[in-house]
Amino acid sequence: DIQMTQSPSSLSASVGDRVTITCQASQDINNSLNWYQQKPGKAPKLLIYDASNMEIGVPSRFSGSGFGTDFTFTISSLQPDDIATYYCQQYDNLPPTFGGGTKVDIK
């Protein structure tokens, strides 16, 4: 299975800050990467697919980039509603696998 390594595992930032999360794949996955947001007690929500494409209805402050093995997820201006855990997920090889998650909260 492809291993997905996310960092950091948690972060605390102020409202309005730029937040960056990285995800590294154990092998080349092209652009076969998605990002999800999971709020406490809720199911994950798809935010970004194919590394950089925003799902319909997702605020424009969320973005993704990367190709190959290294990927980045950015919140351009952190909002209180963004408190959640964020996961990357590869689908280049079966089975799809997820990163360990990054818990984001407000400082």
Applying CB under 8 A, which residues contact another protein? Answer: 32, 34, 36, 42-46, 49-50, 55, 87, 89, 91, 94-101
Q: Do 44 and 87 touch, CB atoms closer than 8 A?
A: yes
Least CB distance to another protein at residue 96 (A): 5
Nearest CB to another protein, comparing residues 75 and 85: 85
Sign of torsion, CA 89 17 61 103?
positive
d(Cα 26, Cα 8) in Å, to the nearest integer?
17
Least CB distance to another protein at residue 77 (A): 25
Closest CA to 102 of 77, 76, 80, 74: 74
Per-residue tokens: 68: 């190959």
Least CB distance to another protein at residue 79 (A): 22
Nearest CB to another protein, comparing residues 68 and 96: 96
- SS3 (DSSP) at 17: coil
Nearest CB to another protein, comparing residues 31 and 74: 31
Least CB distance to another protein at residue 47 (A): 10
